[in-house]
Amino acid sequence: MPLDPSEVQARLEEEIQTYRDVENVHDLPEIFHLWSNRYVLPKLWDCGFLTLDDFYLHYLAEACHGSPGRATIVSVGSGNGDLEVGLAKRLLERGVRNFHFRCLELNPAMNARGQKAAERAGVAEFCSFEEVNLEDWRPDRRASVCLANHSLHHLVGLEALFEKIHGALEEDGVFLINDMIGRNGHMRWPEASLHVEKIWAEMPRRYKYNHQLARWDDDFVNWDCSSSGHEGIRAQDILPLLMETFHFDCFIAFANVIDVFVDRSYGHNFDPQDPNDLAFIERIARLDETLLDKGEVKPTHLFAAARTKPVDKLRCFSHWTPEHCLRVPGGEGS
């Protein structure tokens, strides 16, 4: 059911307050990085990229080398600008200088942090930070690259935004995405919840402390993060809308059941130095990979490069194409 305008505005203001003083929006448990190095990085390697930064830099450098002038890189929902500042530094280290990041972010506190970070890093002349509500954004120039780094799942007007990005991109431009594509509010769909609940019933209580909500969850709670603010407000619509609007050049999707155990709420309960904790996470990770490979559950995360025109060949991990990873509505909980 669509939100009425007053509720959208109230949630938007709540989002601004939530992130006003948050300097590290990607603060994840150690166990997450251990798992991702083992199960996510190889998917990037399979597509020809050493790291996620390498993925970004490949397309950014390609756009700059193909541009007769300065390549405009529009980052929609840039937050504190950490990614953009880091990428600007890496491009300069590679000898690439004909680029400019336009960082579009509604939160003024985050824009200010981004500007300071750019100044400290010596890349201020290559970055600008603009206070923009993406729901109202009207592109005023063409872009070689559009970038969305964990911003899309905070937005309501995805259809309009994707059409604006499609129209703003140059003919050979690219839309780079790193986002969450699971159920709205980052909940589990019923087919994934069955596996999580079974694991929950058998696992030690010390793994059940919820660090985000500061409570013990003796029973698994399929928490809806979109109940306040805009967290995951339309996450489940991102992939189908991307497929309707763009053509994927590269598509790397991953994770579902494992999310619950390595993310911020419960991931801090696992000690990477404890063999028992590692064995527990490894067992769930292997189960998750099997379920995803069979298509019994669908990925909740996505790295992608999309074009406005069809591409000759899609780069993806194994047979995990967009079609394989798309959850078709239907059945209980849909």
Q: Indicate the DSSP class of residue 115.
A: H
Specify the pLDDT at position 15. 44
pLDDT at 12 over 50: no
pLDDT (tens digit, 9 = 90+) per residue, 159-203?
999 999 999 999 999 999 999 999 999 999 999 999 999 999 999
Backbone φ and ψ of 171, nearest 5°:
-55, -40
Taking the CB of residue 193, how many other CB atoms lie within 10 A of it?
Answer: 19
Taking the CB of residue 206, how many other CB atoms lie within 10 A of it?
Answer: 10
| Distance from C-alpha of 157 to C-alpha of 113, rounded to nearest angstrom | 26
Reference 143, options 87, 115, 101; nearest CA is 101
Angle between helix 52-65 and helix 82-93 axes, rounded to 10 deg: 60
Specify the pLDDT at position 286. 98
Angle between helix 82-93 and helix 108-121 axes, rounded to 10 deg: 20
Specify the pLDDT at position 332. 42
- With bands split at pLDDT 50, 70 and 90, how would you rate the model's confidence at 22? very low
pTM for the whole structure: 0.90
pLDDT (tens digit, 9 = 90+) per residue, 247-258?
999 999 999 999
Strands 169-180, 301-307: pairing is antiparallel
| Distance from C-alpha of 193 to C-alpha of 100, rounded to nearest angstrom | 44
